[in-house]
Structure 1
Amino acid sequence: IPNTVVSDNGPQYSSQEFQRFSQLWEFDHKTSSPGYPQSNGKAESAVKTAKRLLHKAKASGRDPYLALLDHRNTPSQGLESSPAQRLLNRRTRSLLPAKNSLLQPQVVQVEQALFTNQRRQCAYYNRSARDLDALRSGDTVRVQPFEPHTEWKLGKVKRPVDSRSYEVEMDSGAVLRRNRRHLRRARVVPQMEVVDIETVNTPGTHADTVISQQSPHTQGDTCNGDGAKTTRCGRVVRQPQRYKDFTT
């Protein structure tokens, strides 16, 4: 029995029956943030690999179980052992010819290789990654919707659920769980109270009449004493040669 089981938020894992099962078998059940499958990337990658094998076996008309068997006997990238060797400490027999000595049980040491592989992946990922500021209960945030080209909605952080995962209470009353990547701090401008002021109209005046006066100095081009046109900043405007004979 594992100490911790990490899964997504599918109905088979979020049901009351699975919660009772985890309590009966005494293991901790953790779920990834909705809309953020990267937090459970190992399981998502395994599902992607299995689907790709089944699609290729169906397209070629081959037995899908033989495709899965060959995959389990293939050494993983960065390791010198196959999934079958890490689980059973031996290779499994397949249609590929193999010596009987290769099918004998043999303990494979993979702990150090797995640790080295994880450290290398972590170093490459952290080159361009950075930790976002932690949020506190009561912070006003904007929540990114799952639908593209949709407006981010306002909400308040209710409580932190897990590392970089929060429960957010929306203005509609719904409580959502989102990863820190889907949340942005929001600055809400306080609304000003609008006071209606009655306008008193006197005879000969109108409240909705606006008198606009145009100053002669607001034009873009002006003429100085010698007849040359200048702009507001004083630059002389020179007329193109081809317009010399044009009169207005």
Structure 2
Amino acid sequence: MVHSFSSHEFQRFAEEANFKHATTSPHYSQANGQTERYVQTVKKLIQKSDDPSKVFLDYRNTPLEGINLSPAQLHIGRRLKSSLPTRTELLKPKYTSPKKVLQRYKQRQASQEHYYNQNSGPKLKPLLQGQTVTIRHDGKIIPGTVVRRHNAPRSFIVETKEGRILRRNRRHLRPTSAEFQDNPQEPYSSGTHQFSKEQENSENISNQSSNLEISADNSVPEVACENADLSGTKTTRSGRNVKMPSKYDEYVCNPLNPVIVYV
């Protein structure tokens, strides 16, 4: 159903019917918020009502916020007769200027934009052609390059490192100065003896542990210290006394230069 709106047949139908078909960025339903809000409202009305036809009749008679006209008045110029008692004068058609309706609609949108921008964070800067970015795609962050800017607001055409062309909203793109390699080298290669940082760290730890002294009873780890403070109390630079917890009574600790012996 979704792909039918991006087909050549639908594009030809839009040209014949003389209307503009504007699409939103994939995976960014917020750009189509008015439609998403309407679908959510209809679903809740169906779930909460035993008679959907009556609920939709009352919904069409309910004035819209900021416009003060119901959907029925905008469509046919009068209220609909329902089970609620209504005066005859209110059911008569009444002309409303489309310019006034459009003006109220724009005022409502401006008010919503004002309150939304207060907590939406700073405005994102536009991206340049050829700029390196990270792309949020299928729950992952992948590198890519900006190809061009799309006709829709805050929408860009990007290309991944695999050569795939995607369209994403500015929220899904983050500029970066990092350089990405197509075929990064593996941390270890047999024959060349290349090691990763984790292997080097583990080797250093093993070398250090081999030089440590092991206690005679082979049961309790001991801390070999230089200039150890046996009182168990340390004074900070601010003059506060810090007492060593009781669980460290079996240890001899020096907070300046501790060397732990593992048994």
Q: Same fold by TM (over 0.5)? A: yes
Residue 83 of structure 2 aligns to which amino acid in structure 1? L
Equivalent residues of 2:143, 2:180 under 8 A apart:
no
Residue 105 of structure 2 aligns to which amino acid in structure 1? L
Aligned residues: 203
Could you tell me how far 1:220 is from its partner in structure 2? 7.5
Gap change, CA 1:47 and 1:167, over 3 Å in 2 = same
Within the candidate set 34, 40, 61, 1:48 is matched to 40
Residue 156 of structure 1 aligns to which amino acid in structure 2? T
Q: CA RMSD in A?
A: 3.4
Greater shift, 75-84 or 32-41, is seen at 75-84
**Structure 1 position 76 matched with structure 2 position 64:** yes
Aligned equivalents of 1:160, 1:132: Cα separation in 2: 14
Partner of 1:30: 22
Could you tell me how far 1:72 is from its partner in structure 2? 0.4
Within the candidate set 103, 108, 115, 2:91 is matched to 103
Gap change, CA 1:16 and 1:190, over 3 Å in 2 = closer
Q: Quick one: percent identity of the two aligned structures?
A: 37
**Structure 1 position 144 matched with structure 2 position 126:** no
Equivalent residues of 1:35, 1:146 under 8 A apart:
no
Aligned equivalents of 1:99, 1:50: Cα separation in 2: 28
Partner of 1:156: 145
- Superposition TM-score, scaled by structure 1 size: 0.69
Could you tell me how far 1:36 is from its partner in structure 2? 0.9
Equivalent residues of 2:60, 2:71 under 8 A apart:
yes
> Runs of 5+ in structure 2 lacking a partner?
194-203, 212-222, 234-245, 253-263
Secondary structure (helix, strand or coil) at the match of 2:137 reads coil
Aligned equivalents of 2:101, 2:67: Cα separation in 1: 7
> Runs of 5+ in structure 1 lacking a partner?
1-8, 200-209, 223-228, 231-236
Could you tell me how far 1:145 is from its partner in structure 2? 2.4
- Superposition TM-score, scaled by structure 2 size: 0.66
**Structure 1 position 172 matched with structure 2 position 172:** no
Within the candidate set 102, 119, 123, 1:128 is matched to 119
Aligned equivalents of 1:198, 1:240: Cα separation in 2: 51
Could you tell me how far 1:34 is from its partner in structure 2? 0.7
